[in-house]
Each structure stands twice: as C-alpha cells, then as structure tokens.
Amino acid sequence: MRARGLWHAAGVVLVRSLNGEHVYVHQRSPGKDVFPSYHDCWAGGVVAHGETPAECATRELAEELGISGVSPIPLFTHVFDQPPIRCHNFAFEVRWDGPIVHQPEEIVGGRWVPLEELRKWAEDPEGPLIPDGRLGVLEWFRRQGASLDPLPSERATGLGDAP
C-alpha cells in the first residue's frame, strides 16, 4: 500500500500508565521501511482484510509491545495524507503498568515519557516523533484539553466523538 501510495486503515494504540501521567514511547528499528529509527507513542499497524480497527489495535499492541488482556478504548479517527502514507488512523487508548516486551524486528527500545515531555516532542515539527504519530498525539492533547486525568471509559469514547 505505501509503495503505491494507496489509502488504508490502521489501528493505533496510545499506552498510558495506570495513573495517566506517562505514555510509553518506543523507538522504531533502523530496518523499518518507513521512518526508520524515529520514535512513536502509538503501537499499531495496517488493518488486515476482514479485521476491524479494534481487532487490529489489539493484535498490534500484543505483537509490538507484548501487551495483552486489555481492551483498547476508542478515542477518535484522524487522517494522515503525506504520500506515500495515506491513512485513516483509528486511535485507541489503554492503561497499563505491566511488562513491555518489544518485537525486536520493529522496536529497538522504549521508555515511559511524562505527558509534558511528550507534548514538547509533539509540538516540535523537527522532533523525534514519527510524523503521523506526532499529528495523532497533538490531536489527542487537543481533545484532552485541560483534563488529562479521567480514564477513557469516563469520557465519550465513540469513534469520531469529541470528548
């Protein structure tokens, strides 16, 4: 899809600490076909044929970060259109304080980042974040407004809803 610049859907998941004060950010491997060695705060990938965005998000979360047994909560959908990447990103969130196990083919490392540090990275167009992830987290911060504390289940969570 990316090689031909085709539109596709992706399921992406923001992993927040249980207390909500940190987001897990990982570094992509240097062998990735798109944005190698960049940092990303979203675990995710392309929705497979016959798969829903939520199923994709759950699958990618387990594959990339080894997180399972949680149900991603839908947040919003955002469009990224910078060929060759043309994508509808279905964004989800989970809360997690358990172990993280990186998929070595895709991820070389990661760490928990305080929200204010992540905001600074996102607001810097020359920063280390992958471009579509940067736009997604900026949208996430915009939708959060002044309140970053409520659990996603305590807000309106339908796709496309403005919490």
Q: How many domains does the chain have?
A: 1
- The pTM assigned to this predicted structure is 0.85
Residue 1 within a domain: no
Residue 97 within a domain: yes
Distance, in Å, from the CA atom of 126 to the CA atom of 149, rounded to the nearest integer, reads: 28
Residue 51 within a domain: yes
Q: Which of 17, 25, 11 is nearest to 54 (CA)?
A: 11
Q: What is the pLDDT of residue 112?
A: 98
Residue 66 within a domain: yes
Distance of CA 73 to the CA centre of its chain: 12
**CB atoms closer than 10 angstroms to residue 26:** 23
How far are the Cα atoms of 2, 60, 156 from residue 81, in angstroms, in the given order? 11, 22, 26
Residue 163 within a domain: no
Burial 77-110 (b: 16+ CB within 10 A, else e): bbebeeeebbbebbbbbbbbeeebebeeebbeeb
CATH for 35: 3.90.79.10
Q: Which domain holds residue 89?
A: 7-146
Distance, in Å, from the CA atom of 54 to the CA atom of 81, rounded to the nearest integer, reads: 21
Residue 132 within a domain: yes
Mean pLDDT in consecutive groups of 10 residues from the start of the chain, 163 residues: 75 96 97 90 95 97 97 95 88 96 96 96 94 94 68 39 33
Q: What is the pLDDT of residue 152?
A: 46
